Structure 1
Amino acid sequence: MPFEHLGRYSNLYQVLRSRNGPRPLAEPGPVTQALVRKCLNFTLGDETPRSVRLERQWQRDGVEGELVSWDVGYGPRTESYILKPIGASEPLPGGTGSARSRRIQGLRQGKDR
């Protein structure tokens, strides 16, 4: 595999090439910087996590925890821990307001179990 030096992300090149085509060599400078930013700012569709799984649940010391994983289309599965007070059912302050968090919360509410 020609991109095995990328380790678990070795398939990223094929994903990018299939979406954007081959890239020509570019000279350093602001134009190249803009092209690199555009190339690295890619998405694989609507950014909805694929193949979401609830890997593990636990309760300890008044905290309810979940380990959730999902596929982003390349590389290893992405994992996240969701922690909340036991029995909490209302939205909590913090980073739970993002669109991605809301989609993952759908799993916690039984939607994808």
Structure 2
Amino acid sequence: MHVVRNLLGSMKQDGVVADSSTFKLLLDAFIRSGQFDSAIEILDQMEEFGASLNPHMYNSILVALVRKNQLGLALSMFFKVVDTSTANGSSIALEARACNELLLALRRAYMRNRVQRCFL
């Protein structure tokens, strides 16, 4: 992660801002390699650089949170995305893979009442 942090810092000093698709690639790479803390840390970097979240990034973030066993935060994000999509008619669609991982993790954690709330 320190290499990525240094690279992003150099880019910022040079006035080059990474776009959201670059951050998505970094998120996915960290998740695939099992570096969930680094994936979540990328979010802080995005905020620092002023990059906006691409709707497709929510899937990667949700998976990272579930795999890091931060189910409360993952569930909050899930409901926020669903509520936001419903309220303003936007099309932020969570992928089946991300939703399945969340639901399975909730079931394994004996949080079945939370699973039921996802469908109400």
The structure with more strand, counted as a fraction of residues: 1
The structure with more helix, counted as a fraction of residues: 2
TM normalised by structure 2 equals 0.32
